[in-house]
A and B are shown apart, each in its own frame.
Chain A
């Protein structure tokens, strides 16, 4: 015989209801996960006609011609990587500077409000960024910034052609502005998570605040900052509206930043309404590629950031 059973209470034992509640909320929690993966499978099914017809050559094909029904995704993969690359190069140093200021240098009373204002940049809808870029930013870029780069770097393949302002350069700049709040706020959290003893040790050795930041804070928080940058990259890769409105929409590969281009996301947004049959299938396949790229980038960023940010002190951890 096993250990004696506890005496049964006369009423219905509450543990049944508890079990039911727990299973219920678990089912709801899992439903999103299951649904999303089921829908990804459905997307793959929709993309099947295009996959069968073009095979792996879809990813390396350079022609996108709906009238001849030839579809290749390389120009858009190229456009996505190039614009995100520009955004990364401009956005990362700025964001890290902001994070350093907010975490290390700002007086305590401006820290909160200023962080909030930087985060408001993330609250502005993408389509409004696009509208603003089109009418306020574009003239400045076309008349001043692009001619400047052309005169300095005109000998490189990156700055060939005319400065119009509706091109990969403008799209990259607007993306840079849009990824700043993501990178800055996550990096700031990573820096705030550095123990004060690290700073004190550096300061006690006579380091200036710049040196303290470099030696004690940046080196300690580097994996979190790196993860923040990758998160920002993930945001840039999938950003749609602002890019669609500024990139100029040309389905071809060109290294010049002054030429119009197209990203995977902007291609889908531009062609969705009228696409049918094999073209719709090809668009969905592009979407599938974007899904897996975003998934990989986000998983990688999570691994880098997760360790730092999940160490938030908490008392309640459930029972």
Chain B
């Protein structure tokens, strides 16, 4: 074998090894999906989805209160997290070419990769401890909101940066004040990117468990009160995963199936919506504006 053949062989071995890495990483994903659907699906029924967890493993139990709790947590977290993240993103993208802007962006980058349990501790320190509200829906929502903020703000910033400067200049040249230009022209053109980021942030916090154990805790009753502990799908899984009771274990798997459906359907639909937009987003923006302008003329 001469040198050339050795090099060719090396090349093929390395390519095969890289492909093997990809396949090896996909096995767990497929296996998890398979296992959750296989074990979780038999548990699902209308009654299972609409009755509350009693916790004794008796007949007629379900995860309805956990589904409601997760939806409420997502709603209140979005109520805080989306506006704050959005405005932060606007500041960093439109006014942030200075020291404060860099500081905020850097801090948000770091916060986005922070362990969620630490964020749970922060929310505990404020809402449960300092404000004396105890384990509650509001504490859980606050923790999830802090996790959301950097995700929403980073994607908002990226989306607004895709908007060409000529649009900003055009608006200003027409005498539009800068704040209106930012809201009406820049933000409305970046709205797809902003919506994507928001949806991904919601998908991300839907599965967060550790911060909820520290803040929202758990309740086996129907509850929508802001100051009461509340159940959620991830915490239901954690409480029941090790249970000797077959019914409770079934609840864990059923909750896992519902949760993974929520998370994956958001991720996949965002991906399908975005497929054509990311690569030629800028061109699209220009095209729609040109069309709009020519229609008016």
Partner pick for B32 among A124, A184, A295, CB 8 A cutoff: A124
**Which single residue of chain B is at the shortest CB-CB distance from A132?**
B32
Question: Do A268 and B260 touch across chains, with their CB atoms under 8 A apart?
Answer: no
Contact indicator per residue, chain A 7-40, by CB within 8 Å of chain B (1) or not (0): 0000000100110111011101111110110011
Residues of chain B at interface, number, CB under 8 A? 101
- Pick the interface stretch among B83-91, B219-227, B288-296: B83-91
Q: Is A1 located at the chain interface by the 8 A CB criterion?
A: no
**Which single residue of chain B is at the shortest CB-CB distance from A292?**
B118
Question: Do B110 and A295 touch across chains, with their CB atoms under 8 A apart?
Answer: yes
B148-205 contacts to A (CB < 8 Å): 149-150, 153, 160-165, 168-169, 172, 177-179, 182, 186, 203-204
Chain B residues near A231 (CB, 8 Å)? Answer: 113
Partner pick for B267 among A14, A123, A238, CB 8 A cutoff: A123
Question: Do A127 and B207 touch across chains, with their CB atoms under 8 A apart?
Answer: yes
Q: Is B209 located at the chain interface by the 8 A CB criterion?
A: yes
Tell me, rounded to whole Å, the shortest Cβ–Cβ distance linking A94 to chain B. 5
Query: Could you tell me the distance between the alpha carbons of A287 and B116 in the complex, rounded to whole angstroms?
Result: 11
Known: A25-B95, A39-B125, A127-B238. A32 touches B114 (CB 8 A): no
Question: Do B91 and A128 touch across chains, with their CB atoms under 8 A apart?
Answer: no
B71-94 contacts to A (CB < 8 Å): 83-84, 87-88, 90-94
Tell me, rounded to whole Å, the shortest Cβ–Cβ distance linking B26 to chain A. 6
Contact indicator per residue, chain B 107-123, by CB within 8 Å of chain A (1) or not (0): 11111011111100111
Question: Do B116 and A32 touch across chains, with their CB atoms under 8 A apart?
Answer: no
A210-241 contacts to B (CB < 8 Å): 210-211, 213, 231, 234-235, 237-241
Question: Do B241 and A130 touch across chains, with their CB atoms under 8 A apart?
Answer: yes
Tell me, rounded to whole Å, the shortest Cβ–Cβ distance linking A312 to chain B. 8
**Which single residue of chain B is at the shortest CB-CB distance from A318?**
B94
Question: Do A125 and B93 touch across chains, with their CB atoms under 8 A apart?
Answer: no
Question: Do B178 and A18 touch across chains, with their CB atoms under 8 A apart?
Answer: yes
Question: Do A294 and B214 touch across chains, with their CB atoms under 8 A apart?
Answer: no
Tell me, rounded to whole Å, the shortest Cβ–Cβ distance linking A57 to chain B. 22
Query: Could you tell me the distance between the alpha carbons of A241 and B256 in the complex, rounded to whole angstroms?
Result: 14
Q: Is A163 located at the chain interface by the 8 A CB criterion?
A: no
Question: Do A302 and B253 touch across chains, with their CB atoms under 8 A apart?
Answer: no
Known: A18-B178, A290-B118. A319 touches B208 (CB 8 A): no
Partner pick for B106 among A97, A184, A302, A318, CB 8 A cutoff: A302
Residues of chain A at interface, number, CB under 8 A? 93
Contact indicator per residue, chain B 15-56, by CB within 8 Å of chain A (1) or not (0): 101111110111011011001100100000000000000000
Question: Do A125 and B206 touch across chains, with their CB atoms under 8 A apart?
Answer: yes
Question: Do B118 and A98 touch across chains, with their CB atoms under 8 A apart?
Answer: no
Q: Is A70 located at the chain interface by the 8 A CB criterion?
A: no
Known: A97-B21, A287-B117. A269 touches B31 (CB 8 A): no
Q: Is A298 located at the chain interface by the 8 A CB criterion?
A: yes
Question: Do A316 and B209 touch across chains, with their CB atoms under 8 A apart?
Answer: no
Question: Do A317 and B97 touch across chains, with their CB atoms under 8 A apart?
Answer: yes
Known: A123-B203, A125-B260, A209-B11. A294 touches B125 (CB 8 A): no
Question: Do A25 and B203 touch across chains, with their CB atoms under 8 A apart?
Answer: no
Q: Is B104 located at the chain interface by the 8 A CB criterion?
A: yes
Question: Do B115 and A238 touch across chains, with their CB atoms under 8 A apart?
Answer: yes
Q: Is A120 located at the chain interface by the 8 A CB criterion?
A: yes
17 residue pairs A–B, Cβ–Cβ below 8 Å: A22-B179, A29-B87, A32-B146, A39-B123, A39-B125, A40-B122, A94-B24, A97-B20, A123-B203, A124-B263, A125-B206, A127-B238, A237-B115, A238-B116, A241-B238, A294-B115, A302-B110
Since A116-B271, A238-B118 are in contact, a sample of 10 more A-B pairs with Cβ atoms closer than 8 Å, ordered by chain A residue number, is: A17-B177, A32-B107, A35-B126, A95-B25, A120-B267, A180-B25, A208-B7, A268-B121, A290-B118, A291-B118
Measured CB to CB, the residues of A under 8 A from B are 14, 17-18, 20-22, 24-26, 28-33, 35-36, 39-40, 42-43, 46, 93-98, 100-102, 104-105, 112, 114, 116-118, 120-121, 123-132, 134-136, 177, 180, 184, 208-211, 213, 231, 234-235, 237-241, 244-245, 265, 268-269, 272-273, 284, 287, 290-291, 294-295, 298-299, 301-302, 306, 314-319
